[in-house]
Amino acid sequence: MSSETNAKSMSIIMTKGALDQAYPAFILATTAAAMGLDVTMFFTFYG
């Protein structure tokens, strides 16, 4: 995490197991990281 007190971040919770349903979350995470956000992804393994 960045040392800034107001660092922007994004959390994504994945509940689907199919790869085609995971692509949008990975695209969002990659885009957010490219914009300088700290990204966390959590995988629940079918909720």
Please report whether residue 37 resides in a domain.
yes
pTM for this structure? 0.74
Q: Which two tokens stand for residue 46?
A: 């079918």
Please report whether residue 5 resides in a domain.
no
Number of domains in the chain: 1
Please report whether residue 4 resides in a domain.
no
Please report whether residue 2 resides in a domain.
no
Q: Which domain holds residue 34?
A: 10-43
How confident is the model over 10-41, as pLDDT tens digits? 999 998 878 898 899 999 999 999 999 999 99
Please report whether residue 3 resides in a domain.
no
